[in-house]
Amino acid sequence: METLLSVLQKAQAGRVAVAHFNVSDFLLTKAVVQAAHEANKPVVIGLSQGERDFFGVKQIVALVDSFREELNLPLFLNADHTHSLPKAVEAAKAGFHSVVFDMSSLPFDENIRQTREAIKTLKAINPDFVVEGEIGDIGSGSEIHDVAAAGEKSLTTPEEAQRFVRETGVDVLAPAVGNRHGMSAEMAKGHARKHLNLKRIAEIKEATGSLLTLHGASGTQDEDLQGAIAAGINLIHINTELRVAWRQGLEKGLREMPGEVVPYKLLPPAFEAVKAVAASRIALFTAPRPASSSSAAAT
Whether 179 and 187 have beta carbons less than 8 Å apart is answered as: no
| pTM tops 0.85 | yes
- Single out the residue of 226, 131, 224 nearest to residue 173, CA to CA: 131
Q: What is the pLDDT of residues 111-154, one digit of tens each?
A: 999 999 999 999 999 999 999 999 987 655 545 445 444 445 58
d(CA 74, CA 78): 13
* 60 Cα distance to chain centroid: 17
- pLDDT above 70: residue 6: yes
Question: Around Cβ 159, how many Cβ atoms within 10 Å?
Answer: 11
Q: Give the residue-averaged pLDDT of 40-48.
A: 98
Q: Give the residue-averaged pLDDT of 79-83.
A: 96
- Single out the residue of 199, 200, 245 nearest to residue 219, CA to CA: 245
